[in-house]
């Protein structure tokens, strides 16, 4: 009889993925494309219905790729957790948001592990992909899975392997992003590597789950802190009458010792606005104050307020009040050329504008229609008439398919928070 490791190495293992969102669905399809039999599990029955019809709701998973693995019988989607019983390997890819008090919310991880634990039998591999604080795998998941008497590293295998998804990135996808892997024991790491070796181009084993958990938090804290720095430089440059975008472009010509980061209306997405606070929360438990992280967070959270202040100033100079003015928001998703609305600063900007009495409309060709109701204002198709009707247009997300020539020609006033109109010159164009 083949061992679990042999089944993983020969792709005869049955693989499961809990959570079929921006992380889980690409991972599940990648495993299936590599030749594994994959079962995807999600509590959202709408997702299950779409996937069963060969319709992907994740931008990085084309319908053709999904239909290919469905046709070959390598992938199925279900909301029934009893499917876990027959699986050899299970990846947990569930959301890990912050609570209303700013503390980590790992309730989705708890729920997934409870479903696994109730069906756990010997020779299963469990891998957590969801971003979380250092210690989660060993301090939370391991005790739950060991409660029935099974021993880690012998009866079952447990590892952490952080997701590093960059939605909309045409160059780096799930397959060719190096996969960091840390097991509770060396045997756990070996089994996780045996799984990923069949589907990923490069594996990066580390000494423990805590190291692997810290890797992901370092990556996104690095970005958060540097974005906070450049946002502060942008605020300072505005006060001094300096074009911060020109400063960054010139500084970026230095071939060493400098990496360009760019200011914007705030942070968005599933990682950078959240992950650093998992780290600072954990640090506080040990009496350590993560001052850089907290300060960067304060600056980044302030940026939507600054954007609305700039809008009010520009309207004031045009002898108009923000209250009653028509403001058109271009771009709603948190990142250019993606359909992801999570934590988008555009939602904060819109909320602040509405509270100050502005009449707000928005335009985003990438945002799925099912998301329109959550924006807080009408979402319209891009048009010349829409531009002409607005007292001010604010570019919040710099989608490449906006006609910026038309924006410049037809708009009365423009606040560009992304330098999307770089190269254009006009008295009605105002940068962040």
Angle at 301 between CA 24 and CA 365, to 5 degrees: 55
3-class DSSP state of 158 = strand
Number of Cβ within 10 Å of residue 358's Cβ equals 23
Nearest to 3 by CA among 186, 191, 160: 191
Q: How far is the C-alpha of 164 from the C-alpha of 397, rounded, in Å?
A: 22
Q: From 310, 25, 35, 13, select the one nearest 167 (Cα to Cα).
A: 25
Considering the candidates 93, 188, 271, 363, report the single residue annotated as catalytic.
271
**Alpha-carbon span 119 to 83, nearest angstrom:** 9
Task: Select from 288, 264, 267 the least CA-distant residue to 416.
Answer: 264
Structure tokens at 329: 């928001």
- Residue 124, judged by CB atoms within 10 A of its CB (0-12, 13-18, 19+), counts as buried
Q: Measured between alpha carbons, how far is 301 from 364 in angstroms, rounded to an integer?
A: 23
Tally Cβ neighbours within 10 Å of residue 85: 11
Q: How far is CA 285 from the centre of its chain?
A: 26
392-395, strands of its sheet edge to edge: 359-363, 326-330, 392-395, 414-416, 429-431
Q: Can you name the residues that pair with 15 across neighbouring β-strands?
A: 38, 89
Between CA 266 and CA 172 the distance in angstroms is 24
Catalytic residue list contains 363 = no
Instruction: Give me the active site residues, please.
Output: 271
């Amino acid at each position: 009889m083949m061992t679990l490791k042999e089944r993983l190495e020969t792709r005869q293992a049955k693989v499961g993925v809990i959570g079929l969102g921006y992380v889980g669905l690409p991972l599940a399809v990648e495993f299936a494309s590599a030749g594994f039999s994959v079962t995807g599990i999600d509590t959202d029955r709408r997702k299950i219905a779409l996937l069963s019809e060969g319709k992907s709701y994740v931008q990085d998973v084309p319908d053709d790729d999904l239909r290919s693995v469905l046709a070959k019988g390598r992938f199925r989607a279900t909301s029934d957790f009893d499917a876990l019983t027959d699986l050899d390997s299970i990846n947990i890819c569930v959301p890990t948001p912050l609570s209303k008090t700013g503390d980590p919310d790992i309730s989705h991880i708890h729920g997934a592990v409870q479903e696994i634990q109730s069906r756990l039998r010997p020779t299963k591999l469990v891998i957590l992909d969801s971003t979380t604080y250092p210690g989660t795998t060993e301090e939370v998941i391991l005790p739950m899975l060991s409660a029935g008497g099974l021993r880690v590293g012998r009866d079952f295998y447990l590892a952490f392997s952080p997701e590093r998804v960059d939605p909309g990135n045409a160059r780096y996808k799930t397959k060719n992003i190096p996969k960091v892997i840390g097991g509770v024991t060396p045997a756990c790491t070996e089994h996780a590597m045996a799984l990923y070796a069949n589907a990923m181009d490069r594996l990066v084993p580390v000494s423990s789950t805590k190291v692997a958990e810290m890797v992901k938090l370092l990556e996104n804290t690095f970005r958060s802190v540097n974005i906070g720095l450049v946002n502060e430089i942008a605020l300072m440059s505005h006060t001094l009458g300096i074009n911060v975008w020109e400063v960054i472009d010139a500084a970026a010509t230095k071939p060493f010792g400098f990496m360009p980061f760019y200011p914007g209306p705030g942070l968005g997405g599933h990682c950078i606005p959240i992950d650093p606070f998992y780290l600072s929360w954990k640090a506080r438990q040990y009496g350590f104050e993560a001052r850089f992280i907290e300060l960067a967070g304060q600056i980044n959270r302030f940026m939507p307020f600054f954007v609305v202040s700039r809008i009010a100033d520009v309207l004031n100079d045009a002898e108009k009040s923000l209250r009653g003015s028509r403001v058109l928001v271009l771009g709603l998703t948190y990142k250019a050329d993606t359909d992801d609305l999570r934590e988008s600063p555009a939602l904060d900007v819109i909320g602040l504008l509405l509270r100050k009495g502005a009449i707000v409309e928005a335009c985003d060709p990438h945002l799925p229609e099912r998301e329109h109701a959550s924006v807080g204002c009408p979402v319209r198709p891009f048009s010349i008439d829409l531009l002409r009707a607005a007292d001010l247009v604010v570019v919040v997300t710099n989608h490449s398919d906006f006609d910026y020539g038309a924006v410049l020609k037809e708009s009365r006033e423009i606040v560009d928070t992304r330098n999307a109109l770089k190269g254009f010159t006009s008295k009605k164009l105002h940068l962040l």
